[in-house]
């Protein structure tokens, strides 16, 4: 059990994932009796009885709550493996048994796993303790022909408006994810008006606007991509498609230069399960190609990893390619989309397990967390090579990171799930390039930070702490002074809202910060004045349902963070 406790456990299990098991439902409900398949099966281990109906229910719970960190096949990634017989590094779940598993499910850990007692019912927890002691279900394939069957072109291109049907400032539109409801709200950031609430995929993870800013592309944990047109008076979904059964990442082609004009030409969707990415026509979402990401790990031991999930994708502005981060293998793929049917791919070994990241200030270097190894990987994108691997704090989770400048020079920052620190890495050429030149700390114990954000016109860096188990810490955001990099103020939950504060986003002008309140009794969107740090507006309308990520069109297109 000590191995189980000491690992860099369970970073994003609060985020909901949909399952693909609707595609492999069992028709009968006869009991499945499972015993160990090794010679030590008689170690006084009890027989685990779980019916097919219970297996299906437990699969739903597991993939909604746990698969992001432990993997669909339970082989582990940021969190440890959860296999009945173990994997040689971590305890077998059959050895932990129901009492041991219950401890972690109910109480969480200080390094990022939420406590599920009070969120999951007693019956759900008990069912999970049995589910985790039997073999995980198999993952079905989803090939190009299958993807094409999911494609739904709702409004053909020639039936869409050729210019905005309004006088609003699309650059300052916000797309707001309402995760549990499977919806995305579009809000006018200038007037603070709700323009539309649209049904999308389940538990949307991110939104990415097209390079021109006309469209939003959402991707749900069920793998559905929804294409939202911002030109009509009321934004609308104009196309849908499924990239995987379980997914996280989407981005558009942004390059325009000597190698061609690819603005808004293609998009890519990255799959957790199956482990693959799909390239689509960005105007219609017609599927063009599927590429599987299973392969050898970066460590040099030739380990072949079947479940090699696409953790994050970013589009280069300097080259016609996407940076695709393959979590379990620790390989960064640079995918050239000049031929979307047969994309050229450069694979760069780095460190495990890759998660999320963004560009530093020049847009040349991509910086991504290898969070299980407490590293940040630096990729020279134009030269297609590994630049540096930087030691940071415990379990870095930068989101896209934060770029800022002060007397130390240009810096890129990450926060951490496993401790209360923020690491500031110098990105300017010189002897200190790619070194942590400053570490700052938030008040209170433990980490739990998911995102941090600033803006070129701001003097502040904002950090959340949504996964800290202490309610006095997760219900606040933390502001640092960019010039001194010292902690400035803890901004606590205002009256009228209740939950955890998460994910900051600036408006175009850089003078407002929007914060979500989720996982509580009263969902809300909070808008703060970045100069005074005072609350300007609070949305608590009925259509606000457990909001998480917010994405400003201009800032996301231009990689401002």
Catalytic positions, please? Answer: 66, 69-70, 113, 355, 397
The rounded distance, in Å, linking the Cα atoms of 525 and 532 is 18
Q: Which residue has the tokens 């504060």?
A: 501
Which positions ≥6 away from 331 have C-beta within 8 Å?
295, 297, 298, 308, 347, 348, 349, 350, 354
274 preceded by a cis bond (ω within 30 of 0):
yes
Burial of 407 (0-12, 13-18, 19+ CB in 10 A): exposed
Tokens read off for 91: 């305890």
Helices (H), 311-418: none
Distances (CA, A) of 441 to 248, 426, 488: 30, 18, 11
Residue 548 preceded by cis peptide, ω within 30: no
Residue 414 · residue 453 · CB < 8 Å? no
- Whether the CB-CB separation of 28 and 98 falls below 8 Å is answered with no
> Edge-to-edge, what's the strand order for the sheet holding 354-359?
354-359, 365-370, 375-380, 385-391
SS3 252: strand
Three-state SS for 192-234 is CEEEEEEECCCCEEEEEECCCCCEEEEEECCCEEEEEECCCCC
What counts of helices (H) and strands (E) characterise the chain? 8, 39
User: Across the strands, what pairs with 547?
Assistant: 178
Nearest-angstrom CA–CA distance, 516 and 135: 37
Q: How many C-beta neighbours within 10 Å does residue 322 have?
A: 27
Stated as kind and residue range, the H or E segment containing 554 is helix 553-557
Our measurement of the distance from residue 529's CA atom to the centroid of its chain's CA atoms, rounded to an integer in Å, reads 27
- Which residues in 149-170 are b (16+ Cβ under 10 Å) and which e? ebbebebeeeeeeeeeebebeb
List the structure tokens of 387: 């630049």
Chain centre to alpha carbon of residue 20 = 18
Cα–Cα dist 183/320, whole Å: 31
Q: Is residue 342 helix, strand or coil?
A: coil
Give me 250's structure tokens.
């989407």
CB 528 within 8 A of CB 512: yes
């Amino acid at each position: 059990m000590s191995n189980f406790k000491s690992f860099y456990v369970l970073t994003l299990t609060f985020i909901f994932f949909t399952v693909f098991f609707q595609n492999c439902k069992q028709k009968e409900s006869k009991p499945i009796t499972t015993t160990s398949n090794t010679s030590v099966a008689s170690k006084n281990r009890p027989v685990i009885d779980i019916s097919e109906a219970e297996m299906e229910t437990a699969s739903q719970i597991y993939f909604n709550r746990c698969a992001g960190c432990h993997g669909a096949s339970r082989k582990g990634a940021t969190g440890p493996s959860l296999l009945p017989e173990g994997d040689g590094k971590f305890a077998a779940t059959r050895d932990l048994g129901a009492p041991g598993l219950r401890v972690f499910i109910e109480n969480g850990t200080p390094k990022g796993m939420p406590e599920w007692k009070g969120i999951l019912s007693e019956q759900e927890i008990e069912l999970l303790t049995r589910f985790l002691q039997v073999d995980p279900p198999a993952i079905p394939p989803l090939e190009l022909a299958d993807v094409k069957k999911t494609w739904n072109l709702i409004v053909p291109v020639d039936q869409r408006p050729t210019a905005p049907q309004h006088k609003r400032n699309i650059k300052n539109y916000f797309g707001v994810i309402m995760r549990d409801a499977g919806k995305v709200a579009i809000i006018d950031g200038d007037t603070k008006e709700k323009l539309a609430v649209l049904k999308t995929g389940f538990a949307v993870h991110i939104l990415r606007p097209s390079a021109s800013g006309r469209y939003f592309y959402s991707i749900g944990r069920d793998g559905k991509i929804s294409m939202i047109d911002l030109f009509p008076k009321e934004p609308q979904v104009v196309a849908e498609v499924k990239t995987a059964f379980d997914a996280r990442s989407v981005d558009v082609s942004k390059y325009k230069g000597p190698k061609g004009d690819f603005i808004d030409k293609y998009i890519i969707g990255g799959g957790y399960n199956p482990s693959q990415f799909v390239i689509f026509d960005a105007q219609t979402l017609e599927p063009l190609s599927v590429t599987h990401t299973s392969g050898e790990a970066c460590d040099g031991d030739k380990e072949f990893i079947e479940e090699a999930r696409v953790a994050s994708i970013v589009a280069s502005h300097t080259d016609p390619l996407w940076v695709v981060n393959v979590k379990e293998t620790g390989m960064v793929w640079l995918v050239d989309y000049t031929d979307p049917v047969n994309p050229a791919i450069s694979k760069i070994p780095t460190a495990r397990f890759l998660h999320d990241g963004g560009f530093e200030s020049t847009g040349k270097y991509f910086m991504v967390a290898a969070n299980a190894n407490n590293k940040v990987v630096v990729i020279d994108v134009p030269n297609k090579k590994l630049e540096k691997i930087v030691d940071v704090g415990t379990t870095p989770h930068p989101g896209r990171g934060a770029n800022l400048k002060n007397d130390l020079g240009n810096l890129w920052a990450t926060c951490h799930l496993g401790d209360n620190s923020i690491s500031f890495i110098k990105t300017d050429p010189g002897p200190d390039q790619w070194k942590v030149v400053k570490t700052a700390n938030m008040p209170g114990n433990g980490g739990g930070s998911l995102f941090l954000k600033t803006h070129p016109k701001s003097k502040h860096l904002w950090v959340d702490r949504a996964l800290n188990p202490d309610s006095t810490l997760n219900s606040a955001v933390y502001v640092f002074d960019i010039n001194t990099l010292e902690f400035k103020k803890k901004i606590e939950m205002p009256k009228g809202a209740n939950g955890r504060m998460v994910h900051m986003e600036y408006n175009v002008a850089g003078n407002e910060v929007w914060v979500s309140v989720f996982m509580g009794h009263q969902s809300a969107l909070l808008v703060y004045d970045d100069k005074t740090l005072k609350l300007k507006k609070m949305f608590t309308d009925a259509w606000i349902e457990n909001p998480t990520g917010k994405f400003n069109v201009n800032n996301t297109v231009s990689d401002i963070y």
